[in-house]
Structures are given as structure tokens and as C-alpha cells.
Structure 1
């Protein structure tokens, strides 16, 4: 049976960690291991991990100091023995058939396929606040430079050989998933299982929930891939639109209505998006309209997820 390794970096999230480990051990595909790298936690994570000392399916490494998510994931990948490697965040959970279904998809895919991912949901308490349905497959380069669109990262299963191209970039404190997939897409095709097999837990510590997350990630991608972006005018245009839209979103969240309108209009000048148009409207109407729209969005999202179950 094919060995599959889950690489699991963690830092000061002892209360989430057990659930992540157990979601690997509960897979219907029985030959799975989980490689946990504790990135210098100070909250009792060591004690939680000690409970798995006698389970040879759980392999643990400790960083003596905090080195960041990329370094921790790279260390885990180096330790992993699986023919396939799965990414797993400590606050994410897998459906029990995820690994089995991804392996079956790899069997039907071309030899150039390096990554199979799935859909997923983001859950806040009893409500689903975001849904990810996969839609991109095959050769996605250079389009992937302009748009990641491969969420959630904890759904990704990679051939172990993919790491011969290099691991996760330590210079990326965020956006490591997008950066890594850009490099993979140069050499490999992507495929997906068209099911929501990953659940993300929404909480205030999620890096991706920070207001400036999108702005910072776009900046990092622009700086690293500047030469490649220059070769593809359509990619450059779409990246500029995305950056302006991200800045408009931040300005709107801060109540800076004039700046929000300015950035949204610039974004619309590069490419139309409903979000940019809505930002202009909500910036004019004010925070009350924005709050009402968010409630309507959350209700619709939860209804959609419930209807599909």
C-alpha cells in the first residue's frame, strides 16, 4: 500500500493540534503517517505531542526556536518517507476519505500531474462562511502567477519528487502556498477531486484573516516574480487589479471611504470585478450597508454549503 505523509507545522496551537493529527490517523487509506514540526511552541504543545510517543504513525521534530512556517514545512518534508506528501495546517481538518480519493485521482491523471487538490469550506462555529470549489486543472502556468485559486492549501497532495524543485520559501512569512505552486506549475500539471474534503476553522489567529494579508502577499509575489510578470502583460494587468482591489478592501475595513473608492476605481480600470464595484457602492453608502451585505453573504454561503451536503 502507498505510504502517504502529512506534513504538519505547528506553533502555539496546542488546543487545535490533536484534532489535526487525528484527522490523518482516521483516514480510510490506512498507510498514512504524520510528521509534526513544533516550531518552538511555549504553550504545552510538547506535552500534547508526547502522548503520541508510542505511535509510529506520528513522527515529531522540535525547533528549538521559532523559524517560521516555511522552514518548519521544509523540515517536515525532509523527514517524510511517503511517496506522496500532503500539506496540513494545525487548524484544518480532513474528511476521512480525502487521501483515498486523491490517490485514485492520481492513478487516472497524466504522468505530468504533480498535485491533486480538493475543495473545502471555512467554518466559524456552526456556520460556513466560505466555500472553495476546485476549478483549475492541467497546465496552469503562467496564469497561476496572477491568481492562486487553489484553496485550501491543506487539500494539496504532492508527489514527493515535487520537492526536488525546492521547498517552501523562508522569505515568505505568508503566501507560501501561492509561491510554491507557481514554481510547481512550471513543471507539473494540477488536478483535483471535485468534493469539499477539507474544513478550515475560522479564528482570529488565522494569518489569512488579517486585513493586510492580501496586500502583503501580492507584494511578495510581485517582487519575487517581477521578471516573469514582465513577460506576460495579461498577468501584470491582473496582478495590478488584484493589488488595487486588496488595498481598496483594507481602506474600506478601516472606514477610509475616499481611499477605498480611489483604489477600487483603479482596480476597475485594469479589469472589472464585482467586488471592486461593490466596494465603490459600499464606500458611498457607509458601514451600515456593508454590514448588511456581509450578513446576507454569510447566510447565502451557509445555505449553499448545507444544500450541497
Structure 2
């Protein structure tokens, strides 16, 4: 627990954007209510929901720490998040997606990270577990005690992994870097991390403190295309913030191609998997071993697919064991 009395501690503004979340918004609210750190305000910004989301939130408004702000119409995620920031009164800002949830010690551990650092620390993230169909699919975590800022940014850049739900920022940082880019529809939190890192250090609590719900069916074909097109603009922009990342663009593109090769393998499109795995090597020779392995598995056909399934099962067991250590 933190050393200071709760009443004298910094205030955290928790911002939850909500859109047609009647089935899930209650769990997000409870996730905040269950925090061991109690000096927070919860700002739920409804983005023009057409279901009973607002009615559900209103049941919690007898708690004077919880506020409901309504957009007159659907404005999109970035404008909704920014509206929450604008009405916030905390010293720190944390975000929680409506279908995600937090470990009870999430806020406490992130604030400890800030307390133990100097003023150069502007953002603290944490590990997260990706949940699909109530199963732990993969985990993401960074041990910042073993990595310098360059390696931290490189890892985030190459994995393209972030979520606003893992982020806590000093509110004062936003005065310098600005709010979420309202032109972005899906990469806003990712872009903000690198924008913060232009002026401040990034830290991580090396524990799985966020459950990230994955809904494969949630993004339609049209939206996926928009997100892919947006990504093509985001990565060069980020390289402009941090020029050293330009040297990783071929590796990043190669990893994307290799990911498509593995997806083709899962879909039993073995010829396409072989073609894509060879193409990945052309982008960056560092992918030679992984690409050749995918090529070999695709040559084995259904046997190769069985090997992939066994490997994935082993990986799932490892992730599950790691996740259970957090004792949610």
C-alpha cells in the first residue's frame, strides 16, 4: 500500500468512453470501484448510445465520485476521450475501455511508479492479458528495469501493441503534448504514447493489470480497411517523432507479412503461406529463421497445422499460468 494517507494523495481521473455498452459498462464501473486506491473520480462519457447504457450508468450516480457526460451525437472515440479529459479535475489521467477491466491494484501500482521516479516520467503503462471467448489468448508486458527508453519504444513499435486501458499520464503532460488526435479512428492511443515519449520518459509496471477483451467479429471489413490505411500513415509519423525507429520499418513490414503467412497456414492456404513467408524475408533478413520455419510447416500441410496447434496450446498454458499468478 502507499505510504501517504489516501486523502492527501494525488487525484486520478478515470475516463471511460461508452457507446452502446449496456452489457458491459457495469463491469467496467465495478472495476474502478474495486480499486485499492480510492482518491479517484470516474468520468463516463457516453458517445450517443442508442441502448440503455446511460440508464445503467445512472444507477451509479448516487456515488458523487462518478459523473456521466453525454455527447449530443456520436462523435467518435478521440473526441469522446478528449471531452473526458477536458472536464477532469485530477492530477493524473487513466483510461478504461468499456469492455475492459482492471486488477484491483492497478491505480495504486502505477502511482507508486510515478512516486518513485523523477519529474521526467510522463506516462506509466502496465501489462495486459488479451481475453477472447473467456480464454487467455496472449499477454503483453514490458520490464522497464531491464530496458532503456530506446528499447521500450522499439518493442511497442514492433509489436504495435497498446491500449488506452493500460495508460496513466500526468495531466500536466497533456498541456505540452496536446490531447488525442481527433483525426484518428483507431490508432490514437498508440500515437499518443510516442508523442508523450518525445518529451517525457515512459515507464511500465511489469504486471498483468488489465484484461483486454478481444472481439474478432466487432470490426467489419470496411472498418478494418480504414484501420489498415490509418496504420500506413501512423508509422511514418511516429518515425518522425523518433527517427531511430525508421531502421525498424522493414522489420515491422516483414513481421506483418509473416503474420499473414501464419494466418494463411491456419486457413489451410498452404501455397499462399509459402509465398508470403518467402516475401517476408525480402523485407528484413532478421526474419529468415521464422520465415523458413513457417515455410517448412506450410510444406508439411495438415501435419504442419497440427504442430502449430500443439505449439499454440503450449503457449496458452504458459500465458494462463502467468495470468493466474496475478490472483484476479
The TM-score by the shorter chain falls in which range? Answer: 0.7 to 0.9
Which whole-Å CA distance do the structure 1 matches of 2:289 and 2:325 have between them?
24
User: Aligned pair count?
Assistant: 308
Structure 2 residue 131 is matched with structure 1 residue 123:
yes
Task: Tell me the residue number matched to 1:146.
Answer: 157
Which whole-Å CA distance do the structure 1 matches of 2:66 and 2:246 have between them?
47
Which whole-Å CA distance do the structure 2 matches of 1:53 and 1:41 have between them?
18
Task: Tell me the residue number matched to 1:46.
Answer: 54
TM-aligned CA distance change 1:106 to 1:277, over 3 Å: farther
Structure 2 residue 303 is matched with structure 1 residue 295:
no
Task: Tell me the residue number matched to 2:96.
Answer: 88
Task: Tell me the residue number matched to 2:73.
Answer: 65
C-alpha root-mean-square deviation of aligned residues, in Å?
A: 3.2
- CA-CA distance at 1:49 after TM superposition: 1.7
Structure 2 residue 190 is matched with structure 1 residue 172:
no
5+ long unaligned stretches in structure 1: none
TM-aligned CA distance change 1:101 to 1:41, over 3 Å: same
TM-aligned CA distance change 1:142 to 1:296, over 3 Å: closer
**Which residue of 251, 258, 268 maps to 2:281?**
268
CA deviations 1:235-278 (Å, max 9, x no partner) are: 33333323333443454455543333333323234022765455
1:13-24 pair list within 5 angstroms: 13-24=21-32
| TM-score scaled by length of structure 1 | 0.85
- CA-CA distance at 1:307 after TM superposition: 5.7
- CA-CA distance at 1:129 after TM superposition: 1.8
TM-aligned CA distance change 1:308 to 1:72, over 3 Å: closer
| Higher Rg | 2
5+ long unaligned stretches in structure 2: 1-8
Q: Residues 274 and 294 of structure 2 are in contact (CA less than 8 Å); yes or no, is this contact kept in structure 1?
A: yes
Q: Residues 102 and 157 of structure 1 are in contact (CA less than 8 Å); yes or no, is this contact kept in structure 2?
A: yes
- CA-CA distance at 1:108 after TM superposition: 0.8
Structure 2 residue 142 is matched with structure 1 residue 134:
yes
Task: Tell me the residue number matched to 1:156.
Answer: 167
| TM-score scaled by length of structure 2 | 0.80
**Which residue of 174, 194, 198 maps to 2:206?**
194
**Which residue of 111, 114, 134 maps to 1:106?**
114
Structure 2 residue 291 is matched with structure 1 residue 283:
no
